[in-house]
Amino acid sequence: MADISSFLTEEFENSSLKLDLGTLLEVIAGNAGSERASAAIVSSAMSDSSETMKKSQSEIREVMSLFDNGEDIPLQGWRDSSKVLIRMTVEGIVISGEELLLVAKAERKALEVRKYLASREEALPSVSCYSGAFTDCRPVVTSILRCIDDSGEVEDSASPELRSLRKRSSGLRNRMRKEFADFTGSSKSGDNNEFVSVRGDRYVVSVPRSDSAAIKGLIHHTSGSGASLFIEPYEFIEKNNKLESLLREERREIERILAGLTMEVFESREELSSNQEIMVSLDVIRAKSLFSREYRCTIPLRSSDGLMNLRNARHPLLERMLRTSKAQGEIVGLDIECEPGLSVLVISGPNAGGKTVALKTVGMVVLMDRLGLPVPCGEESSLPFHRDIFVDIGDDQSIERSLSTYSSRIERMTRILDLVQQDSLVLIDEIGDGTDPQEGAAIGCALLEELIRVGGRSIVTTHMSALKGWAYDTKGAENATLKFDSDRMMPLYLLQMGIPGRSWGIEMARRLGLQERIVESAIKKAGEDTIRLEELLGHLEKMDILLEKEREELAKREKELSGLVSEYREKVGVFDKKRGEMEETARRDALDLINKTRGEMEHLVREIRTRQADREVIRKSKAELKQTSEMHEKILKEKEVPSVISPELLKLGSSVMINSLRKHGKIISIEGGGRIKIELPGGMRVETKDSDLSKWIGGSRKKTDKKISWMIGASDPVSSELMVRGMERVEALEKVDAYLDKAVLQEMTTVRIIHGIGKGVLKKAIYDMLRRDPRVAEAHPGEPAVGGDGVAVVKLK
């Protein structure tokens, strides 16, 4: 028994033939730059797995993106050298300079491509991997290009011996031409070479037969007409022998050089051939990418549940025909959606309405997908992995095999039923056709039921009402129709899922000129029920067209509304940005004013310290400080505005401002519905909406408030004594200085500083400071009852 894989291979070939895949592959191959790449495309086979398909499609998509960015793989100008390398199977063969030059240029181009791909790893993650497969054969390229010029000739510099031989032979030629010119006496015409030519590396003179007796020498050749003889004069024989010898030596040296270069190629033939194989593969990818870009192909989403969802699917050969035809028609894309669980789709509709084209379009899309090509569909199209595709389109009748149309179709269906699997796709045009319509419909329904039982997915076309009714009643089956404009009696080529289509046979016959009495007779013979059913289907189609127009209008309005919403959001964004800028400006202005007034306050304090201020001056200064303090608070309240909080700040631990409470805190919990829990300084917790929060500018404000509070502190009670006992000298003096500031501002007259006795070091430092301080009238030790020598009693001015 034959292996089933051989039958499936035959089925793929049959499907390819029915769907004109070969023609499509020839179109794609036309983009290739080499014969082998073109042949590889034409002989493409189905990918053996979904992973292979994915890899191929990814490579093509990357190169398409390269085209979109104005770049290209640098294959232009490359000529495949594989034919030359194939000859390098036997050691000792010598190839010509032109062939060596082809090998060198092909390899040099391979090195260029390798370098380019290596520099595009980010843009070409899949294709750039080919760069690592190249082998560096630069030594071979260098050797060939050093010895062979652009015309394929061996350079003088290929060897010192060749340079010497050519120099000698060139000098000898020049002398001989001069001597021959003198010998022939052709200087009369001004052209010394008029009668001189070369025959077999030997210089000869051409003379009319009638004058040949005047020249003594060897006759080498006679002209075609016999009117002229080519004679080598005796006096030039020795020189010609010398020239001929030099030229033989030159050819031997050239042969030696070519043999050496050929040996280098022979030793690297496997690496060179491998590099050319990679170049062919890249040429194939580039050709497919050019085609895919031209026909707006995309890579379908891969569905694992059997969903087939094709959006704006187009048959590439039909599109190409419309492009090149005089009519320059616009192709109408096919939208078809087969949900998971849908096993059979029955397409009906008018003759010449596009049913067979729809079937072929689906088939071509699936075949292209299986070949690892992007498909001519819109974005977001989906396809399952179809392992096999079986096609029954057209007439396979055979006189030699005595097969009628119906017989051939039954034989075909029998074969399909034997091979179909769970992940197969079956396409049948006019199922049940070719026999009695009633029996054909019954056979068609039975075949479709068997296909549902076996598995896979089938898409069929029909005109038979019984099949339309079967699809309506059967689980796993669905109707679809090609839309038809009944007013103009023209097909619209748009597929409508879910409803059967009307054939419009009688109406089209009338429109095409069939006599009215014959049309009326046909209507009567068709029966009232049949006509009513057809009219109902026609009414449904018309209603669907109207609904489609309304849907298009609604989609248009939704698009306009979406544009308005986008415009509104953009304006809101601009407004929010400006508001944020204004708030930031206001905050900076407020801080600038605070810093300015803080400087004025510090100036007042310094004035009190440095001047011998009396109590009137102190009271006046205190009033100014109080006024400035009140102004600070007013500025802070008026100028401070909530900063807009960004979503990324709404996270645990963020410091935020509660606008309604004018308090700041940290987020400790984020609840649903925009509810946020905040912990305030001191441990108190509150809950509020996220809309009540703003960004808290904490650092500079907090620092400013603290400093102002310390300086003005008019409402803070000041103790009549200060304890500095046990402190270090510097710390104690800073405490005393600050304490005296506060005491002066509180208009105190006498204070006590407790410094202790100890060794007297701190006491001495404090008294030295007090004697120099302009705020101090006098200072002396306290009475024994209040601490004696351990206390300094200070009277303030």
Q: How many whole angstroms separate alpha carbon 217 and alpha carbon 204?
A: 9
pLDDT at position 15, please?
Answer: 86
Close Cβ partners of 710 (under 8 Å, ≥ 6 residues apart): none
Q: How many whole angstroms separate alpha carbon 254 and alpha carbon 97?
A: 10
Continuous segment of H or E residues that includes residue 530 = helix 528-610
The domain locations on the chain are 157-260, 308-525, 644-696, 717-796
Residue with tokens 């007042």: 604
Q: In 3-state terms, what secondary structure has residue 795?
A: strand
Mean per-residue pLDDT for 89-110? 92
pLDDT at position 310, please?
Answer: 96
Continuous segment of H or E residues that includes residue 483 = strand 477-485
Mean per-residue pLDDT for 166-176? 91
Reported as a single tens digit per residue, the pLDDT across 435-467 is 888 898 999 999 999 999 998 899 999 988 889
Q: How many whole angstroms separate alpha carbon 469 and alpha carbon 399?
A: 36
Reported as a single tens digit per residue, the pLDDT across 337-349 is 999 999 999 999 8
pLDDT at position 682, please?
Answer: 67
Percent of the chain scoring above 90 in pLDDT: 39
Close Cβ partners of 631 (under 8 Å, ≥ 6 residues apart): 597
644-696: CATH topology: SH3 type barrels. (2.30.30)
Identity at 202, one-letter amino acid code: R
β-strand 382-383 against 301-302: which pairing, if any? parallel
Q: How many whole angstroms separate alpha carbon 10 and alpha carbon 3?
A: 12
Q: Which of these CATH numbers, 3.40.640.10, 3.30.70.20, 3.40.50.10320, 3.40.50.300, describes 308-525?
A: 3.40.50.300
Residue 84 near residue 102 (C-beta atoms within 8 A): yes
- This prediction has a pTM of 0.64
* Biggest CA-to-CA distance, the chain: 164
Residue 35 near residue 83 (C-beta atoms within 8 A): no
Domain 717-796 falls under CATH 3.30.1370.110: yes
* Statement: residue 157 has pLDDT above 70: yes
* Statement: residue 406 has pLDDT above 50: yes
Task: Return the structure tokens found at 209.
Answer: 């037969």
The mean of the pLDDT values for the chain is 82
Task: Return the structure tokens found at 265.
Answer: 């190629």
Report, at the CATH architecture level, how domain 157-260 is classified: Orthogonal Bundle (1.10)
Query: Phi, psi (5° rounding) for residue 686?
Result: -135, 160
pLDDT at position 511, please?
Answer: 74
Task: Return the structure tokens found at 768.
Answer: 């030295």
> What is the number of residues in the chain?
797
Q: How many whole angstroms separate alpha carbon 161 and alpha carbon 170?
A: 14
pLDDT at position 8, please?
Answer: 59
Task: Return the structure tokens found at 273.
Answer: 């051939």
Continuous segment of H or E residues that includes residue 559 = helix 528-610
Residue 489 near residue 349 (C-beta atoms within 8 A): no
* Statement: residue 117 has pLDDT above 50: yes
Q: How many whole angstroms separate alpha carbon 121 and alpha carbon 367?
A: 30
Query: Phi, psi (5° rounding) for residue 293?
Result: -70, -40
pLDDT at position 186, please?
Answer: 47
* Statement: residue 403 has pLDDT above 60: no
Beta bridge partners of 495: 482
Query: What DSSP assignment string belongs to 146-213?
Result: HHB-TTSPBPGGG-HHHHHHHHHHHHHHHHHHHHHHHHHTGGGTT-TTTTEEEETTEEEEEEEGGGGG
Q: How many whole angstroms separate alpha carbon 58 and alpha carbon 769?
A: 85
pLDDT at position 471, please?
Answer: 92
pLDDT at position 598, please?
Answer: 61
HEC per residue, 594-649: HHHHHHHHHHHHHHHHHCCCCHHHHHHHHHHHHHHHHHHHHHHHHHCCCECCCHHH
Which is more confidently placed, 580 or 448? Answer: 448
Reported as a single tens digit per residue, the pLDDT across 356-366 is 999 999 999 99
* Statement: residue 602 has pLDDT above 70: no
* Statement: residue 717 has pLDDT above 80: no
- Cα separations in angstroms, 35 against 279, 284, 300, 609, 676: 12, 10, 30, 100, 71
Angle of helix 4-18 relative to helix 355-370, nearest 10 degrees, comes to: 130
What sign does the CA torsion over 122, 126, 128, 129 have? positive
* Statement: residue 513 has pLDDT above 70: yes
pLDDT at position 597, please?
Answer: 67
Mean per-residue pLDDT for 556-573? 75
What sign does the CA torsion over 311, 315, 321, 327 have? negative
Q: How many whole angstroms separate alpha carbon 193 and alpha carbon 218?
A: 19
Task: Return the structure tokens found at 654.
Answer: 């963020």
- Cα separations in angstroms, 201 against 264, 393, 701: 31, 70, 104
Reported as a single tens digit per residue, the pLDDT across 273-325 is 999 999 999 999 999 999 999 999 999 999 988 999 999 999 999 999 988 87
Show the DSSP H helices in 217-296 as ranges: 237-267, 269-294
Which is more confidently placed, 528 or 754? Answer: 754
Percent of the chain scoring above 70 in pLDDT: 82
Q: In 3-state terms, what secondary structure has residue 457?
A: strand
Beta bridge partners of 347: 461, 480
Show the DSSP H helices in 295-395 as ranges: 316-324, 355-370
Beta-carbon count within 10 A of 773 CB: 17
Of the pLDDT bands very low, low, confident and very high (cuts 50, 70, 90), residue 537 is: low
Closest CA to 433 of 356, 502, 363, 492: 356
The number of C-alpha atoms within 13 Å of 661 and in the hemisphere containing its C-beta is 18
